[in-house]
A and B are shown apart, each in its own frame.
Chain A
Amino acid sequence: KQEVTQIPAALSVPEGENLVLNCSFTDSAIYNLQWFRQDPGKGLTSLLLIQSSQREQTSGRLNASLDKSSGRSTLYIAASQPGDSATYLCAVNYGGSQGNLIFGKGTKLSVKP
């Protein structure tokens, strides 16, 4: 069964700290992997998309890495800010006839001023 796990489930850090969110997936035959952010009661905002052939992607203070062979991805947030407080979701796309994304349950991040 294809599953996506995110650790930790919740994280609280002081402002300015660098942090890493982890995502693991059971089936390494992925098409691509996408990181999203969700604010309470809102939709999902796409942060980074990593294709299966890529090792990492960067956008501003965010860097996502992908290690297909070990079934892992990390999202690194540099110099965290209170505005980064949200739930971060990792989603795997296996392509083909499946089509849909498989989501982890997310990491709820709280950045304290």
Chain B
Amino acid sequence: EAGVTQSPTHLIKTRGQQATLRCSPISGHTSVYWYQQALGLGLQFLLWYDEGEERNRGNFPPRFSGRQFPNYSSELNVNALELEDSALYLCASSKGQGGYGYTFGSGTRLTVV
């Protein structure tokens, strides 16, 4: 069974540009979660999508947005990039609300210069 896949692995952008990160969940998982892990900080919850809808959102500005497609894959968009957006972005998937646990991908390392 394929795990959670994220692309790209690394992304370098200039301040003010937009970044798009992608995530494909495990087959059969309908929920996708996005987390940010900045250097030296813990994992911060960004967004939760389930059945194509945004279900919950962490304490991040509106320039962090995303969507979930009919095949349950998801996209995270970060507009007007700032230097402090440089971080490892992790995607996780679960069946429903995580009763069977969460499975994480390997992450996208975003560097803003």
Which A residues have a C-beta under 8 Å from some C-beta of B?
31-32, 34, 36, 41-46, 49, 51, 89, 91, 93, 95-106
Contact = CB atoms under 8 A, between A and B. Distances in A.
B75 interface: no
A101 B105 contact: no
A49 B102 CA distance: 9
A46 B103 contact: yes
Contacts of A106: 42
Interface residues on B, range: 20 to 34
Nearest 3 pairs between A and B by C-beta? A44-B104, A43-B106, A49-B101
A22 B107 CA distance: 26
Contact of A99 (B98, B101, B103, B107): B98
Given A42-B106, A105-B42, A100 B33 contact: yes
Residue with the highest number of chain A CB atoms closer than 10 Å, among B6, B90, B101: B101
25 contacts: A32-B101, A34-B102, A36-B104, A42-B106, A43-B6, A43-B106, A44-B90, A44-B104, A49-B101, A89-B43, A91-B43, A91-B102, A93-B97, A93-B98, A95-B99, A98-B56, A99-B48, A99-B50, A100-B45, A100-B56, A100-B58, A101-B92, A103-B42, A103-B43, A105-B42
